[in-house]
Structure 1
Amino acid sequence: MVNTRIKKTLKPSFSQASTEDSDHQSTESGALIGSNDDILTEILLRLPVTSILRFKSVSKHWYSLLSHSHLTQRYDHLSKSPGLFAHDKYLPFDAEDPSTPPFSSLDSYFDLPDVRIVQSCNGLLLCYTDRGPKGRKAALKYYVFNPTTKQLAVIPPICGGSKVRKTIRFMGLAFHQTDCVHYKVVCVRRLEPGVDLFQIQVYSSDTKKWEMTSESFCICKHVLFGHGVYWNGAVHWVPFSGCPFYFKLDVEQLHMLPLPEGYTSSEIFIMYFGESGGHLHLVVQKNREDNYLRLNVYEMLSDHSGWFVKYQLQLDELLDSFPEMISEYACYFKVIDVVRGEEEEDTFIVLNTSEKIITYNVHDKSFKQVSSFTGYLFEDNSMFHPVYHRYTETLSSF
């Protein structure tokens, strides 16, 4: 009886001691991790962006750590592109496992109606509206918006009033987490009506000022400024006209942009022009008269000296599932994005048919329907004024 009582009393005492010892070790481990910023950073880098934003409120130390450029740049380098905007409607790339929409409506954040996206650049959006608070017609206003952090900045108008603002032919965003940390807005304006003489002005979020470049420039009549892409320290305009070019921001100089070998500006049929994962892409339709479904995806060399074929695509296998892509006389699909994956085998293109949006993996040739729709809302009337804009998560602040 005595021994039995001893066993009964010793058992819970032993269990309690083990639990207290385990809790003590866990507390020590947690304190060790919490006091080591390097270990903590490695853990935080593996969390989804929603958790990062929520953990900023844990303490002043965590807020400082999660806001530091060292962490945000590393996180942005690893971040993925979960979807795209069609006007201000969000469409996740993976319809089976959709990501959380970054916002319900652009208008709610701007407190203004009819806000539209001009450009997406490495996680930031350049937006504009020509409506006042009551919906009346007003002077055009531009904004830079981070849909991940909900940070918003107003771009001051160019000096000179409405007369000068009417001369604007292009407004574009330049931003990258490493080579252009302080975003810039690039404006191209015509100096005189009816004369092909232009000048570039640049707004910097660092100085909060517009600066005019030193020299004006004259280019051919048929150049289109509608679609500009920031990559590798320069803004590039789609090489559609007879004199494609790019503008290097650091030296404020214009340079000619070459076409892929074997093409002239009158022969090339461009399906897409854009940047992803540090690569500049040009998608060209091959043999339009023979096969509308054969595409070449070109990539620009880092020194701007030329293009090379990165992917050759034959999209015939899509016709069984999406017969609306082509008719006897024409193609009815557009390439609206090229997304380089974290791993090379994860790279895919995004296609817009007259009825659906599709992702197509360039390596295993698998495809998924992202969205279906009716009506004109998602129609991209011109690739030079695209309505589709990629969403990339970024923690960068301005």
Structure 2
Amino acid sequence: MASKSSMRRNLQTVLTDLPDIIVEILSWLPLKSLCCCKCVDTHWRYLISHPEHLKKLPQTLAGFFFDTEDIGRCPKVARHFANIGEGPQIDPSYPFLPPEFELVRLEDCCDGLLLCCSSQRPFRRLVCNPSTERWVVLPALPADSSCVAQEETFHLAFDRDVSSHFHVFQIVLKEWRRVAGINIYSSETGSWSFKESGWDSDTSICTSRRVFYQGMLHFLSAQSTVVSVDMEGNKWRAIPVPEGVKSSEIGFLGLSKGHLHYMVHTGNRVQVSIWCLAKYDSDEWTLKQHVDNNKLVNVRRIAYDYEYAIISYHPDRSLIYANHRDNTLMAYDTDREEARVLCSVGRGSLISCFPYVALFNDSSVPLSS
């Protein structure tokens, strides 16, 4: 009988020599089983995560968490989950959380984990995995005055393919919304640390447009740059937006097919331009295409670009998600140039929306139930 080590070597040889056949077999698996296969070892994870292979595999985007607000409703803010894939149907009330988090506000979502905040003072935060119903409460920020922000903006950073640990960032703002520094929580150390800003002193950021990529948390700044910081607060970077983009335009930042993307209104605001940072270490953006506003949300005529809002890119496919003013969630296929309605947002106005990629196997993620 062959030993386990020799069997493992034989399997790795098959994965290396016959990747197309293996990918074809994996394409028949449901999303949950496919996600579990990524946890076998680094060879399986690489095979499944490769951009060319992802085109043939089940979509990874399970759905969207979103909140709506209606002043005629009690409570006026309602929480929802729209399932658009093969992932689990999530109860947006998070019934598995402890009593003090019965009414929580979803602040961020990253690679299967959620960052939530309690609704009553003193505000407490936790990170949870709704697919496995595991969670951990974060410690309070230090009482040191250098760690006090004028506005509370928290962000989650996690990449299941790189590390078993997550980070939480609090952006510390000073006058005129300029960035003074960041508080960083590490699940590995279980503590917070403060770092002064390494960006230009006048940098102000749009906290609603952020992407975690290559171990860096990226934001769009009002200074026409994409600024980023690493998990330790040691590396700070500023990438100019594509040449020719007006400084008054604040675009949308996203991640798709392993590359950073930037979308912004151009052409007298009747279309959006999609740019890709093909080489991350450079500052050179590549123009992928222009998309007419009307095609994006499948209507005959849009009078103003603010009649819809870009929500997200699909992580693995050429899809852009947007919310139209008629409260419908749309998906636009940039390859086929086709738009379709995913679901109705329902009563009230959309106040937040987060794409969700299910994480079924989090045995290495330090969450405690």
Q: Considering the TM-score relative to the shorter chain, is it more than 0.5? A: yes
Residue from 148, 155, 169 that aligns with 2:138 = 155
Distance 1:163 1:195 in 2: 16
Contact 2:113-2:130 within 8 A present in 1 as well: yes
Structure 1 equivalent of residue 322 of structure 2: 351
Please tell me whether residue 106 in structure 1 is matched to residue 98 in structure 2: no
Greater radius of gyration (CA): 1
Q: Residues 371, 298 of structure 1: CA spacing in aligned structure 2 closer, same or farther, 3 A cutoff?
A: same
Q: Residues 330, 282 of structure 1: CA spacing in aligned structure 2 closer, same or farther, 3 A cutoff?
A: closer
Distance 1:367 1:351 in 2: 10
Letter of the structure 2 residue corresponding to residue 280 of structure 1: L
Alignment of 1:371-382 (within 5 A): 371-377=343-349, 379-380=350-351
Contact 1:199-1:217 within 8 A present in 2 as well: no
TM-score, structure 2 normalization: 0.73
Structure 2 equivalent of residue 171 of structure 1: 154
Letter of the structure 2 residue corresponding to residue 336 of structure 1: I
User: Which secondary structure state, in structure 2, belongs to the residue aligned with residue 138 of structure 1?
Assistant: coil
After superposing the two structures, state which structure 1 stretch, 163-172 or 205-214, moved more: 163-172
TM-score, structure 1 normalization: 0.69
User: Which secondary structure state, in structure 1, belongs to the residue aligned with residue 121 of structure 2?
Assistant: strand
Alignment of 1:186-265 (within 5 A): 186-190=169-173, 196=178, 198-213=180-195, 219-220=201-202, 222-241=204-223, 244-249=226-231, 252-265=234-247
Q: Residues 305, 330 of structure 1: CA spacing in aligned structure 2 closer, same or farther, 3 A cutoff?
A: closer
After superposing the two structures, state which structure 1 stretch, 38-47 or 166-175, moved more: 38-47
Contact 1:220-1:243 within 8 A present in 2 as well: no
Distance 1:347 1:195 in 2: 34
Q: Residues 276, 318 of structure 1: CA spacing in aligned structure 2 closer, same or farther, 3 A cutoff?
A: closer
User: Which secondary structure state, in structure 1, belongs to the residue aligned with residue 95 of structure 2?
Assistant: helix
Residue from 351, 362, 379 that aligns with 2:334 = 362
Residue from 288, 296, 305 that aligns with 2:273 = 296
Please tell me whether residue 392 in structure 1 is matched to residue 368 in structure 2: no
Percentage of matched positions with identical amino acids: 20
User: How far does the alpha carbon of each residue in 1:139-180 deviate from its partner, in whole angstroms, 9 at most, with x for none?
Assistant: 222221222222212111111189955545432112112334
- Where does structure 1 lack aligned partners over 5 or more consecutive residues? 1-31, 56-64, 132-136, 381-386
User: Which secondary structure state, in structure 1, belongs to the residue aligned with residue 94 of structure 2?
Assistant: helix
Instruction: Give the strand-richer structure, 1 or 2.
Output: 2
Distance 1:161 1:105 in 2: 35
| Deviation (angstroms), 1:212 | 2.7
User: How far does the alpha carbon of each residue in 1:10-51 deviate from its partner, in whole angstroms, 9 at most, with x for none?
Assistant: xxxxxxxxxxxxxxxxxxxxxx99x96676997889643545
Residue from 260, 284, 289 that aligns with 1:306 = 284
- Where does structure 2 lack aligned partners over 5 or more consecutive residues? 16-21, 68-78
Structure 2 equivalent of residue 19 of structure 1: none
User: Which secondary structure state, in structure 1, belongs to the residue aligned with residue 348 of structure 2?
Assistant: coil
User: Which secondary structure state, in structure 1, belongs to the residue aligned with residue 274 of structure 2?
Assistant: strand
Letter of the structure 1 residue corresponding to residue 80 of structure 2: K
User: Which secondary structure state, in structure 2, belongs to the residue aligned with residue 181 of structure 1?
Assistant: coil
User: How far does the alpha carbon of each residue in 1:180-203 deviate from its partner, in whole angstroms, 9 at most, with x for none?
Assistant: 43111122224x678956122221
User: Which secondary structure state, in structure 2, belongs to the residue aligned with residue 182 of structure 1?
Assistant: coil
| Deviation (angstroms), 1:255 | 1.9
| Deviation (angstroms), 1:52 | 7.8
Please tell me whether residue 124 in structure 1 is matched to residue 89 in structure 2: no
Q: Residues 107, 71 of structure 1: CA spacing in aligned structure 2 closer, same or farther, 3 A cutoff?
A: farther
Residue from 280, 301, 305 that aligns with 2:260 = 280
The number of aligned residues is: 328
User: Which secondary structure state, in structure 2, belongs to the residue aligned with residue 281 of structure 1?
Assistant: strand
Distance 1:351 1:226 in 2: 15
Contact 1:76-1:177 within 8 A present in 2 as well: no
| Deviation (angstroms), 1:376 | 2.3
User: Which secondary structure state, in structure 2, belongs to the residue aligned with residue 140 of structure 1?
Assistant: coil
Please tell me whether residue 339 in structure 1 is matched to residue 342 in structure 2: no
Compute the RMSD of aligned alpha carbons: 3.8
Instruction: Give the helix-richer structure, 1 or 2.
Output: 1
